[in-house]
């Protein structure tokens, strides 16, 4: 255990020494996103006033479109990219929240910071995890330090575990730091620092209309911790994917490029494919459909957009993470690194 701990600490030092500028750049971008989001919200007034203003605007938009306001029904599901259906569901949700005194998620600093970091900015952290993991072994080969690494008194599997743990530790620290800084920015801009137990509401299924059975209420701190836990699963999956590519790659640049492309391109293509094929069931078993799991905690209607269950997302991410790491460990154990 002691050699493994020493290897983990050594990997953490290497990551910080070589990639602290990348971590700093991502943190700065997240801070800018939080600042822009905080400044865009009215400085005065209550969330009820803001909701009433948005309701009036949506009712006016529906009237101009020639469609009476009202939620879409199960008998008449919203059409793909149907603006009226989206407005109707959003209007129903806002009216329900107003009637039951459920503030939007982004009204309180804690939950607003969680939404910004774990949903809007989360692709940046996926890139960071994939990037760092993709360099784990390929950079050692490129710098010809792989033989020295293999001379350590631990197994190859333990080396891989130390590298994976270091990447996950680093990206988790960066994620929590981004959330903390966003929380400070929102609290400074609008106050409400201690409002952590107030309830917010998220939709169990944002593709259908708002109704009591479709709403899940939770304290703001629970929303933030649930978003963090789901996001860590995706970071672990990105870590395992980068390690798998790095196990076979000899060039660090090729390894990083492949890993980042795999994390960014397939999810978007899969959304288009899913919409085109009208949500075939087999797409739910692909890891690329679940790389932003905090999006399960949506507080806005999203008709026409595929939505997965919490159990399916957790199961798929856990299964693919274990499979990819096992494949990396098996390949690294038998790979000839001395030739």
pLDDT in tens, 127-166: 999 999 999 999 888 888 888 888 888 889 999 999 999 9
- Which 3 state secondary structure label does DSSP give 103? strand
* pLDDT at position 270: 78
Distance CA(308)–CA(295), nearest Å, equals 10
Structural contact between residues 249 and 138, judged by C-beta atoms closer than 8 angstroms: yes
Task: Read off φ and ψ for residue 300, nearest 5 degrees.
Answer: -130, 145
Distance CA(125)–CA(175), nearest Å, equals 7
- State the residue for tokens 């856990």: 318
* Non-local CB neighbours of 267 within 8 Å, separated by 6+ positions: 288, 289, 291, 292
191: burial class by Cβ within 10 Å (0-12, 13-18, 19+)? exposed
DSSP alpha helix (H) spans, the chain: 2-40, 47-65, 83-99, 109-115, 122-142, 146-150, 156-190, 220-248, 252-276, 310-334
Structural contact between residues 301 and 216, judged by C-beta atoms closer than 8 angstroms: no
Distance CA(31)–CA(184), nearest Å, equals 10
Count Cβ atoms below 10 Å from residue 155 Cβ, excluding itself: 14
Task: Read off φ and ψ for residue 217, nearest 5 degrees.
Answer: -100, 145
- What is the chain's Cα-based Rg? 23
Q: Which residue, among 254, 250, 304, has the nearest Cα to 275 in the 3D structure? A: 304
Using the predicted structure, report yes or no on whether residue 67 has a pLDDT greater than 70: no
Q: Which two tokens stand for residue 290?
A: 């679940």
Using the predicted structure, report yes or no on whether residue 99 has a pLDDT greater than 90: no
Average pLDDT on 114-118 reads 94
Dihedral sign computed on CA atoms, order 173, 176, 180, 185: positive
Total residues found in the chain within this entry: 339
Q: What percent of the chain has pLDDT over 70?
A: 88
Q: Which helix (H) or strand (E) holds 219?
A: strand 215-219
Dihedral sign computed on CA atoms, order 264, 268, 271, 276: negative
Using the predicted structure, report yes or no on whether residue 304 has a pLDDT greater than 70: no
More confident residue, 157 or 206: 157
Q: Which residue, among 105, 103, 108, 114, has the nearest Cα to 181 in the 3D structure? A: 114
Digit-coded pLDDT (tens) for 19-35? 999 999 999 999 999 89
Average pLDDT on 274-281 reads 71
What is the pLDDT of the chain when averaged over all its residues?
85
According to the per-residue pLDDT averaged within each range, which of 7-16, 45-54, 79-88, 268-277 is highest?
A: 7-16
Task: Read off φ and ψ for residue 203, nearest 5 degrees.
Answer: -90, 130
* pLDDT at position 335: 82
Please tell me the number of Cα atoms within 13 Å of 215 on its side-chain side.
22
Distance CA(118)–CA(95), nearest Å, equals 26
Q: Which helix (H) or strand (E) holds 203?
A: strand 199-203
The domain spans of the chain are 2-334
DSSP alpha helix (H) spans, 66-155: 83-99, 109-115, 122-142, 146-150
């Amino acid at each position: 255990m002691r050699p493994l701990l020493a290897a983990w600490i050594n990997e953490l030092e290497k990551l910080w020494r070589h990639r602290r500028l990348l971590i700093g750049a991502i943190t700065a971008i997240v801070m800018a996103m939080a600042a822009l989001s905080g400044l865009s919200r009215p400085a005065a007034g209550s969330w009820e006033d803001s909701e009433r203003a948005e309701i009036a605007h949506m009712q006016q938009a529906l009237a101009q479109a020639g469609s009476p306001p009202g939620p879409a029904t199960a008998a008449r599901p919203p059409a793909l990219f149907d603006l009226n259906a989206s407005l109707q569901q959003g209007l129903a949700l806002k009216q329900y929240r107003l009637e039951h005194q459920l503030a939007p998620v982004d009204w309180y600093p804690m939950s607003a910071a969680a939404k910004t970091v774990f949903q809007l900015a989360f692709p940046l952290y996926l890139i960071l995890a994939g990037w760092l993991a993709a360099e784990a072994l390929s950079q050692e080969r490129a710098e010809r330090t792989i033989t020295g690494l293999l001379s350590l008194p631990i197994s190859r599997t333990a080396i891989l575990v130390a590298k994976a743990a270091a990447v996950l530790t680093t990206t988790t620290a960066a994620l929590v730091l981004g959330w903390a800084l966003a929380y400070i920015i929102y609290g400074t801009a609008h106050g409400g620092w201690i409002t952590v137990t107030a309830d917010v509401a998220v939709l169990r299924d944002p593709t259908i209309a708002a109704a009591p059975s479709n709403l899940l209420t939770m304290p703001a701190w629970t929303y933030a911790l649930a978003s963090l836990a789901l996001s860590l699963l995706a970071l672990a999956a990105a870590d395992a994917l980068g390690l798998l590519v790095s196990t076979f790659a000899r060039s660090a640049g090729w390894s990083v490029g492949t890993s980042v492309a795999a994390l960014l391109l397939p999810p978007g293509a899969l959304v288009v494919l899913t919409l085109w094929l009208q949500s075939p069931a087999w797409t739910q078993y692909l890891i690329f459909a679940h790389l932003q799991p905090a999006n399960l905690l949506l507080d806005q209607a999203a008709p026409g957009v595929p939505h997965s269950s919490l159990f399916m997302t957790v199961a798929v991410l856990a299964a693919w993470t274990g499979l990819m790491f096992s494949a990396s460990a098996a390949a690294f154990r038998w790979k000839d690194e001395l030739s």
